[in-house]
Amino acid sequence: MHNTFERATQAFRNTARSLHLLITAALLLVATSIHAQISLSGSGGEPDRDFGTLAANGQSGVYLFTSAVMSSVLAAGIQSSARPILVGTCGVNPNEDICVARLTRDGTQIDSSFAVGGVARFNSGGQDYGYAISVDSNDRIVVAGVCGGVACVLRYAGNGSVDTSYGVAGRSGVQGMIRANSMLIDASDNTIVGGECYQAGLPYLCVARLTSSGAFDATFNGGNVRMIGLGSASGESVSGLTLDASGNLLVTGYCRETLAAQTYSRFCVMRLLPSGAFDTAFNTTGYRVFALGNTTQNYSSGGVSITPDGRVVVSGACLNASFISLFCAARLTASGQLDTTFGVDSFAGLGYQIINDVPTPNSVKVRIDEASRLLLIGSCPNGFCMARMLASGRPDSLFGNNGMRLYRPDPANPTAEQRGGVFVALDGNRILQAGYCGTATPGQFRGCVARYYIDTPPGERCSLDIDGDGAINAATDGVIWARALLGIRGAALTQGAIGARAQRTSADAVATHLATHCGIR
């Protein structure tokens, strides 16, 4: 009888403790439900709500320019102060200007200490566009693009003032190149630009290297723009540049190949020695132009990067048989051959992978982390889009929805076009993505910038925002937490308790989040 009494007493204590935890959790949820802005946790690719301004409906994670300041963001960079630098278009056709703006670190406003009122504006008297940006070792801002019909490079001091020591009054023309699309700065603060050239009326991929003073580097292709011929194929414009560990330049771009009198887009990648000559150790020719599977479909390469062990990844957009654009990537060995260890399921052993979903990306760039995972960022017409593949090529199930994330950053104009594609890494776990967002006025756009977590932030894995809608709400999150603490599982866990903007909308998704991030099973 004594044992029976002890068991009953212990059961009462356990029940009381559970009720105490339940009441405490409910009170906490009610008390915090008035605060809409928090940092989300869960799968990778989610918006960082600590960036930008708080919107009326509780969403944040985005900074919106006014149309007059910047109608579209075309390039993004980061200074050593961790403040974002955005390059975009200001003015109206046919008198567009290049504008360079700096935001505060939290993205809540333009940094008024930069340039004039936070914005540096370049006007050549013609049409000017900035397409690429890099920050050099002295925190100077280098912008490449088009100035009045000729490729150009501009340089600004770290505070946004024109660097008059560069080129002529801060500007260097890249004669022979009509447009600079891509750029990087090497360890010597030389600027390498890639773009498009024409010779005898034919388009070519082309690159040039400028010294830190803005002059052509005489040690690269004799101090001239290097036009790249691809045998029977042709290239139109460079879309990506990177340097390997030996200082060789990897280039990718928009390339075409004619097959049975029909022209198709192709993946292409080439490797140049520091002198500008082809590196013939790469595919024996120094370049490779290839289709991914069906030769009568289009595959457009957009970015290039190097894995930690030296393999070459080319990212892009692949049109399927229904002419729908999909995220895709190929991996090559250091010698330029398709890496047959990359690709899974129906792509196993092929050296490439396609994510069969429908975000319709183009101009897909790639970032590779220390685990050789591929983060793909594309320009999608229906939102800011990203995808992630594991080192094997498999879509990463812990990133967004089945390896892909599509997010509309401006909730005030949900039906307007919102297109990203520009990105820069802030650190190991956060990126900025930028582009333009439509307004309530048809045909009017404004630059928009969002910040995302690549992975769930350490220390924020278990969030009270259980349905992932960006708000802690007693009527949804509170109910689910209460049911979870009482041991309720299955459909009853979430029935009638999922918010309208929830990211985790099923009982299985909520249960997975509870188990993975909160240790509740």
Q: What is the pLDDT of residues 457-480, one digit of tens each?
A: 654 556 778 887 767 888 998 999
* Mean pLDDT confidence for 48-77: 82
User: Tokens 């390469």, residue?
Assistant: 301
In a domain? residue 56? no
Return the H-helix or E-strand segment holding 16: helix 2-32
Residue 482 and residue 25 in contact, taking contact as beta carbons nearer than 8 Å: yes
Question: Domain range spanning residue 517?
Answer: 462-521
Residue at which a domain ends, from 258, 282, 306: 282
Residue 354 and residue 328 in contact, taking contact as beta carbons nearer than 8 Å: yes
DSSP assigned state of 216? B
Per the document, the length of the chain is: 521
For residue 33, what pLDDT is reported? 41
DSSP assigned state of 441? S
Instruction: Determine the 3-state secondary structure of 483 from DSSP.
Output: helix
For residue 464, what pLDDT is reported? 79
% of the chain with per-residue pLDDT over 70:
88
190-194, 210-214, 247-251, 323-327 — which is least confidently predicted? 323-327
In a domain? residue 428? no
Residue at which a domain ends, from 235, 254, 282: 282
Whether omega for the bond prior to residue 274 falls within 30 degrees of 0, making it cis, is no
For residue 514, what pLDDT is reported? 79
Instruction: Please check the confidence at residue 115 and state whether its pLDDT lies above 70.
Output: yes
Instruction: Please check the confidence at residue 328 and state whether its pLDDT lies above 50.
Output: yes
Pairing of strands 226-228, 249-259: unpaired
Neighbours of 385 (CB within 10 A): 27
In a domain? residue 215? yes
**Residues with Cβ < 8 Å from 374, sequence gap 6 or more?**
305, 313, 315, 329, 366, 367, 368, 388, 389
In a domain? residue 472? yes
For residue 41, what pLDDT is reported? 39
In a domain? residue 306? no
Tokens found for residue 495: 């029935």
Find the angle CA(439)-CA(425)-CA(308) to the nearest 5 degrees: 145
For residue 124, what pLDDT is reported? 92
In a domain? residue 180? yes
Residue 387 and residue 356 in contact, taking contact as beta carbons nearer than 8 Å: no
**Residues with Cβ < 8 Å from 184, sequence gap 6 or more?**
134, 191, 192, 241, 242, 243
Residue 273 and residue 248 in contact, taking contact as beta carbons nearer than 8 Å: yes
* Mean pLDDT confidence for 152-177: 97
For residue 58, what pLDDT is reported? 46
Greater model confidence, 518 or 84: 84
User: Tokens 């006025």, residue?
Assistant: 441
Position 175, amino acid: Q
Instruction: Please check the confidence at residue 481 and state whether its pLDDT lies above 80.
Output: yes
In a domain? residue 17? no
Neighbours of 272 (CB within 10 A): 23
Q: What is the pLDDT of residues 428-446, one digit of tens each?
A: 889 999 999 999 898 899 9
Tokens found for residue 381: 């017409």
**Residues with Cβ < 8 Å from 231, sequence gap 6 or more?**
285, 287, 289
156-165, 211-220, 465-474 — which is least confidently predicted? 465-474
Considering the chain, what is the average pLDDT of its residues?
88
DSSP-assigned letters across all residues of 129-167: EEEEEEE-TTS-EEEEEEETTEEEEEEE-TTS-B-TTTT
The number of folded domains in the chain is 2
**pLDDT tier, 19 (very low <50, low <70, confident <90, very high otherwise):** very low
For residue 413, what pLDDT is reported? 86
Greater model confidence, 77 or 125: 77
For residue 292, what pLDDT is reported? 95
Neighbours of 306 (CB within 10 A): 17
**Residues with Cβ < 8 Å from 203, sequence gap 6 or more?**
196, 197, 234, 235, 236, 237
Return d(Cα 191, Cα 422) in angstroms, integer: 20
**pLDDT tier, 54 (very low <50, low <70, confident <90, very high otherwise):** low
Backbone angles phi, psi at 456, to 5 degrees: -60, 130
In a domain? residue 520? yes
Rama region for 302: left / alpha / beta (φ>0; ψ in -120 to 50; rest): alpha
* Mean pLDDT confidence for 132-153: 96
Return d(Cα 396, Cα 388) in angstroms, integer: 6
For residue 36, what pLDDT is reported? 32
Instruction: Determine the 3-state secondary structure of 484 from DSSP.
Output: helix
Instruction: Please check the confidence at residue 487 and state whether its pLDDT lies above 70.
Output: yes
Residue at which a domain ends, from 282, 306, 341: 282
For residue 32, what pLDDT is reported? 41
- Can you give the pTM of this predicted structure? 0.80
